[in-house]
Amino acid sequence: MNGRERAVAGKAEARTAHAARPWEKNIRRVTPYVPGEQPQGGRLIKLNTNENPYPPSPAVREVLKAMEPDMLRKYPDPSASALVNALAGYYGLNPEQVFVGVGSDDVLGMAFLTFFNSDRPVLFPDVTYSFYPVWAELFGIPYETCPLNADFTIDPLDYDRANGGVIFPNPNAPTGCFLPLRQVEEILRHNQDVVVIVDEAYIDFGGESAVSLLGRYENLLVVQTFSKSRAMAGMRIGYALGSPGLIKAMQDVKYSYNSYTMSLPSILAGEAAVKDEAYFRESVEKIIRTRENAKRRLAELGFTFPDSKANFLFIRHRTVGAKELYDALRSKQIYVRYFSGPRVSDYLRVTIGTDGEMEELLRFLEEYLDAPAKRGSRQK
């Protein structure tokens, strides 16, 4: 039990009146990841969980409409071959280089469990996906964070030291910063004795994937998801691409936990989505155009932000605090993400929505920032 777990167990005891029950002594106590809120209701603008504003490929609808319930009574193919083959074809890889799971969190969690078994610390950035330390603590994996540069970029030299593995998102979250491929390769060159995971949840929005490095680095695992660029967060599909050795090791762990992770609808709808490349390209390009337009408008309003290559912007206003803006937006049913941690509490993470949604956001910000006096009175 590390310090954090102990603190949490302590809190749990304080919370419940029955903490002394004997069967409670061996329960694993953890601090879970807190997902972004999922507000319900029609008239709201949801720019807080990096979902795609456009629906998935129409081919997905056809697959679901054609599903006969009788197909559901059997276990699905445990290797999810239809989906694995579609992904292998799309990336020009071998099916033995593709692992699929229940969203990229499942894939990443399984990768932590499979590959990070060293006594040396796993390294990742200090400002990054907040699930990394949660998995490390769940599985008792030592870790250390490497501070990002002042402009939120990753310094590859920080990862040039003894470690038990490396993981970072590219583009990084919640900053949106993209690490150029030659720097990704620099990290790989310095870390040939451990597994290096590049978490590419947002790669399709303008970054360049490390998939092209797979042929040269057998210790590289690239993780991607259907939840963002493919607009299928509700279907729960993520995947890892890597050398057959890495993928086999993950399969073995998966088959030691749950043989049948992928439901039949996920396998078939995922396959259909991958095959509709034209639709995919088109909706991703729409989001990129909207993002670049939002960058111009936000800069005019006095916001600064890293040059995001993801489907979100990490913005800070030169005079108005992030928490204040978050609350003001929320009161208008516009949901963005606010993180209270060190280095990030001045920022809001804003998902790129449709042009219409972004227009509503920008108009509200325009008005709000234009009326500080009114704002003051509203706030008391």
Residues 222-251 that bind a second copy (CB under 8 A): 227, 231-236, 245, 249, 251
By beta-carbon proximity to a second copy, the closer residue of 47 and 177 is 47
Q: Which stretch binds a second copy (CB under 8 A): 47-55, 89-97, 334-342, 356-364?
A: 47-55
Contact mark string toward a second copy, 203..222, x via CB under 8 A: ---------------xx---
* The one among 157, 255, 289, 374 contacting a second copy by CB under 8 A: 255
266 counts as binding a second copy under rule CB under 8 A: yes
Q: Which residue has the tokens 């679901």?
A: 64
Least distance (Å) from a second copy to the CB of residue 156? 18
Q: What is the distance between the alpha carbons of residues 289 and 50, in angstroms, rounded to a whole number?
A: 16
Task: Let me know how long the chain is.
Answer: 380
- The DSSP string of 6-31 is HHHHHHHHHH-TTTT-GGGTTPPP--
- Answer for the pair 202, 173: CB distance below 8 angstroms, yes or no: yes
**How many whole angstroms separate alpha carbon 48 and alpha carbon 38?**
9
Options 96, 160, 185, 253; binder of a second copy; rule CB under 8 A: 253
With helix as H, strand as E and coil as C, how does 202-256 read? CHHHCCCCHHHHCCCCCCEEEEEECCCCCCCHHHCCEEEEECHHHHHHHHHHHHC
Give yes or no for a contact between 5 and 30, defined as CB atoms under 8 angstroms apart. Answer: yes
User: Of the candidates 277, 211, 278, 279, which has an alpha carbon nearest to the alpha carbon of residue 239?
Assistant: 211
**Shortest gap between Cβ of 273 and a second copy (angstroms)?**
9
- CB-CB contact of 251 with 97 (8 Å): no
Between 108 and 313, CB nearer to a second copy = 108
The smaller minimum CB distance to a second copy, of residues 172 and 311, is found at 311
Among residues 88 and 107, whose Cβ is nearest to a second copy?
107
C-alpha to C-alpha distance for 180 and 155, rounded to whole angstroms:
11
| Among 94, 258, 304, 345, contact with a second copy (rule: CB under 8 A) | 258
Order the strands of the 220-225 sheet from edge to edge.
98-101, 238-242, 220-225, 196-199, 165-169, 122-125, 143-146
Per CB under 8 A, 364 contacts a second copy? no
User: What is the smallest separation between the CB atom of 73 and a second copy, expressed in angstroms?
Assistant: 4
Nearer to a second copy, 230 or 316 (CB): 230
Site string for a second copy, 128-167 (x = CB under 8 A): ------xx-xx-------------------------xx--
Least CB distance to a second copy at residue 336 (A) = 16
Per CB under 8 A, contacts with a second copy among 66-105 are: 67-78, 102-103, 105
